[in-house]
Amino acid sequence: MAEITPETVSTAALAYLGDSVTELWVRRRLVTSGISSAGKLNEMALGYVRATEQSAALKRMLPHLTEEEAAVFRRGKNIDHHSMPKSASQKEYREATGFETVFGYLYLKGMNDRIDELLTLAYSEEQL
């Protein structure tokens, strides 16, 4: 199997991976908060991974991105979308895709501490 790096996968694949990275981070935070009901955990997690929520989280995180991370965000934001959810505007959906792309990129770079740092900025402790 070939080595997978941010340079060897498409921007869409980075966003796909970043979606999972973000969701896992949110789920881990919710579980460690002491909530034990799977239904409640799922309901709460959805409140963080929807495009509208990711777009809002991006605004809190954006000023803290490095130049490299901001370039990755712009790449993700600008990919072509063939479908859009009804619950988000085109702008929100594009921003959410860029948000996810950053985390797919950081994950493949092995920068788990940076992922935690940025997601902590994006989703304040009061939210979780």
116 included as an active-site residue: no
Q: Which residues contact 65 (CB under 8 A, 6 or more apart)?
A: 73, 102, 118
In a domain, 103, yes or no: yes
Lowest mean pLDDT among 46-50, 98-102, 112-116: 46-50
CATH code for the domain in which residue 75 is found? 1.10.1520.10
Give the structural domain span for 44. 11-122
Kindly state whether residue 48 falls inside one of the protein's structural domains.
Answer: yes
What's this model's pTM, rounded to 2 decimal places?
0.88
- Sign of the Cα pseudo-torsion (94, 96, 100, 105, in order): positive
For residue 127, is it within any domain? no
Q: Which amino acid is residue 71, in one-letter code?
A: A
Among the options 19, 80, 113, 116, which is catalytic? 19
DSSP calls for 74-102: HHHHTS--S---TTS-HHHHHHHHHHHHH
pLDDT tens column, 54-101: 999 999 999 999 999 999 999 999 987 666 667 788 888 899 999 999
Please check whether residue 5 lies inside any domain of the structure.
no
Residue 128 placed within a domain:
no
Q: Does some domain include residue 55?
A: yes
- The number of domains in the chain is 1
